[in-house]
Amino acid sequence: MSDNRYRKVPSRRLSRLASFGQIATGVAGGMLAEGARRLARGEAPRLSDLLLTPANATRVADQLSRLRGAAMKLGQMISLDAGDVLPRELTEILSRLRESAHFMPPAQLERVLTAEWGAGWRSKFKTFEPRPIAAASIGQVHRATLPDGRVLAIKVQYPGIANSIDADVDNVATLLRMSSLLPATLNIAPLLAEAKRQLHEEADYVREAEMMLRYAELLADDPAFLVPRPYELLCGRNVLAMDFIDARPIETLSVASPEVRNRVLGTMMGLVLRELFEFGFMQTDPNFANFRWQPAKDGADNERVVLLDFGAARAIDPATTASYRRMMLAGLAADRDALRESLLDIGFIAAPVLARHGAAFDRMINVLLDHLGKPGLFEFADRSFVERIRGEAETIFADRSAWHIPPAEALFVQRKISGSALLAVKLKGSLPLRDMVERAVSGTAPALLIGAMRDSQ
């Protein structure tokens, strides 16, 4: 097979461990080469400067995309969550992990489907397209047609992925520790345990089918969304069959009119608020590939958002929802003391860190309130405040003893919020964000979010 998109998934523990060894060796070699170049120029390079180079990021991104599974998933999380902290060049390189992964070779795919459906599995279909229409960290998707004409999307999990999750997470953690990027005193064990738990849930396609049905029920009366239905006769732990919905990648909204773009982004941001404050249930993976859209027909304003991939769907602890409500109410009121207390309460700031860097945090809060608290439309493309925040954050990050990991529950919720905001930034959206948040925390969001959008246009 000449197509370089096809690469066998390493499914055995030793072969995956060897891949991590190649990552470590390649990064170390890159650090030595970069160090020699800088010394030849008379520079005294720092370890972090040698490690965080575009060449090393390219090595890591390429190897993780070949491994797929939890290793690639963690790389995607880093590229989404740390976009305003990592150097811009590194973020752009790691963002490749949010794009399509390599495909399984046909022989490997055949073995997986035969194990799942039996030797005569092709007789179940009128057609089955052997080339995937999409590929991601845990599985790849094929289009197929049943004898009755129903078109399905078939998500097939890569072999060995579920069994490799714990080892992959541990290996990524080892690479981070070896790199000295993380302080030795930082306890990441609770976060690693939660990451393993969620990744095991994402690898359980029976559970994902159940989450898909739950979302379809939650949004049954909302015409702005489309949720595929599972075809249960072909579903199993490693294969998920569902309706194929023809739609466009969400990033193609960049060429739509500002009115269409903002309506769709408003619909998506409104869903995040409903998940947090109404449903108590959230799909916490904001990867752009999990969202598509259908243009309106006949000049109407009824664009629809297609929701995909429910492996990361989870209930939200009511205490977390209450903490977010207090935090947003404090922000709306520009109550700096209450906002500081709510950040402590939710776990985004640790009390000892605030004691040492309170002035820097206060300046960050002032920047955010000045930027986010403006009435009217919020221009996501205006990133003028980011450099000011980055400057204050660098002071705090320089104090490695101040590094702090918030509770996993809050991290997963914040990941969805931050990822949705990143999409709005990418698409240069303009939304009445303050009004939307105010109505959401007051409990009037479902009926009035669309009204807020239209009132602002």
Helix axes 384-397, 351-372, angle to 10 degrees: 170
Which DSSP string corresponds to 330-382? HHHTT-HHHHHHHHHHHTSS-HHHHHHHHHHHHHHHHHHHHHHT-SS-EETT-
Count CB neighbours of 339 within 10 A. 22
Distances (CA, A) of 227 to 158, 243, 244, 284: 24, 9, 10, 16
How far from the centroid of its chain's Cα atoms is residue 310's Cα? 12
Rounded to 5°, the CA angle 77-79-83 comes to 120
Which residues are part of the catalytic machinery? 285
Which structure tokens are listed for 143? 């289009």
- The answer to whether 128 and 142 are in contact (CB under 8 A) is yes
In the block, residue with structure tokens 């529950």: 409
Could you give the CA distance from residue 405 to residue 419 in angstroms, rounded to a whole number?
18
Q: With 0-12 CB in 10 A as exposed, 13-18 as middle and 19+ as buried, what is 431?
A: buried
Which DSSP string corresponds to 245-270? ---EEGGGGGGS-HHHHHHHHHHHHH
Backbone angles phi, psi at 298, to 5 degrees: 60, 35
Residues present in the chain in total = 457
145 has which bridge partners?
127, 151
Which structure tokens are listed for 27? 């990064």
Could you give the CA distance from residue 431 to residue 439 in angstroms, rounded to a whole number?
14
- The answer to whether 350 and 185 are in contact (CB under 8 A) is no
- The answer to whether 260 and 299 are in contact (CB under 8 A) is no
Residues 6+ apart with CB under 8 A from 436: 266, 269, 270, 273, 445, 449, 452, 453
